[in-house]
Amino acid sequence: MHRQPLLKLLEDFTPTEAERVSHARTVELVKTQPLCFERSLAAGHITASALVVDEGGMRALLVHHKKLDRWLQPGGHADGDPDVLAVAMREVREETGLTRIEPVHRGIFDVDVHPMPARPNEPGHDHYDVRFLLRATGDEAIQISDESHAAAWFEGRYFDELRTDDSVCRLWRKWLAGTHAGERQAD
């Protein structure tokens, strides 16, 4: 079954208290919806994104999303691809132009279900966002995609000042907590 690899990743992931409901909802979606990777699934669908840290681990890359008008981690729709880590890496490349990126580890870093507002040709729906932790391995120039107003590296202390939501700040807090637990090495 094409959903089994994601179910295994979700099974191996231990959610924080803030992620428990999102994790349970995501598991249920993947178990019950064969089309969970398709954006045509009107109730909601799988997306993938990543917190991208610089080589020194002191900054994270965020994009200022045009449609949502806020700073977010790069990510997007699976569009039928069940390899959510590959989707996250593809989205980082497309949205930032970075090509030298690698997973800090291959497991899920965070899970978040969030509502997307209705648009003229699209009803409101949920994004079941599976999030990974990536590291940029070079000093490449950022290229802004047509989906964003801007893209930039930020030190974590500025996250609270940005127009974003708590789940993005949660990614940074988890990174900081993980660096003290040896998470800087890829496994």
**pLDDT tens-digit series, residues 25-77:** 999 999 999 999 999 998 899 999 999 999 999 999 999 988 888 899 999 99
The pLDDT, as a whole number, for residue 180 is 40
Q: Which two tokens stand for residue 114?
A: 């969030």
Residue 182 has pLDDT above 60, yes or no: no
Read off the DSSP letter of residue 160.
Answer: G
Q: pLDDT per residue over 85-139, tens digit each?
A: 999 999 999 999 999 999 999 999 999 999 998 888 888 999 999 999 999 998 8
CA-to-CA distance for 72 and 39, rounded, in angstroms? 20
Which residues touch 12 (CB under 8 Å, ≥6 apart)? Answer: 107, 108
Sorted by where each starts, the structural domains of the chain and their CATH numbers stand as 4-117+125-179 (3.90.79.10)
CA-to-CA distance for 94 and 119, rounded, in angstroms? 23
Residue 181 has pLDDT above 70, yes or no: no
Residue 80 has pLDDT above 90, yes or no: yes
The pLDDT, as a whole number, for residue 114 is 95
Q: Which two tokens stand for residue 60?
A: 């994270």
**What torsion, rounded to 10 degrees, do the Cα atoms 172, 176, 91, 136 define?**
130
Question: Which residue(s) pair with 45 in the sheet?
Answer: 127
- Which of 39, 20, 32 has its CA nearest to residue 81? 39
- Which of 74, 13, 67 has its CA nearest to residue 49? 74
CA-to-CA distance for 65 and 122, rounded, in angstroms? 18
The pLDDT, as a whole number, for residue 110 is 97
